[in-house]
Amino acid sequence: MQDQINGTTGLATLEGMQPFSWQAAAVGEYEHSLPTRHAELRTDLSARILALTGRQISPQEIYTDGSLAVAGVDGVTFRLHHHSLVLVRTCTYCGTGHFEGPKMSSLSDLGYALSTWRPLHEDCEDYSAEDLADF
């Protein structure tokens, strides 16, 4: 039994896998770094939220998949992806869907995303723009 497993057939199979060993190495490295990625994303997002809102978010309140991190603060959803912080909001008109706002790096960026930025589906019209007539 033992001789068969360590025989030439097994070696031939391993050699056949060689062209893909770089992929296995990359995937292995990714999986090895995953706990660190999760921790870094949580730390990064909570630090940015603290800087912009003054609210302390615990790591347990932050969802991360290893490439992006998401957290809710007082009903507002923050998302960190590729080191870019954005807000996630629903359609201004129908209240469904998920829209990512402009990249934010300052308090005024956050203010813009909270007030002026009005995400809309292509088929949803924002009739509130008619209020501009009051100016």
Which residues are at the interface with Zn ion (CB under 5 A)? 91, 93-94, 121, 124
Burial of 62 per CB tally in 10 Å (0-12, 13-18, 19+): buried
The smaller minimum CB distance to Zn ion, of residues 81 and 121, is found at 121
Report yes or no: 104 and 67 within 8 Å, Cβ to Cβ.
no
Which three-class secondary structure state does DSSP give residue 115? helix
The smaller minimum CB distance to Zn ion, of residues 17 and 94, is found at 94
Q: What's 74's DSSP letter?
A: T
Residue nearest Zn ion (C-beta atom): 91
What's the closest the beta carbon of residue 115 comes to Zn ion, in angstroms? 19
What's the closest the beta carbon of residue 134 comes to Zn ion, in angstroms? 24
CA distance 75 to 117: 16
What's the closest the beta carbon of residue 122 comes to Zn ion, in angstroms? 9
The smaller minimum CB distance to Zn ion, of residues 47 and 94, is found at 94
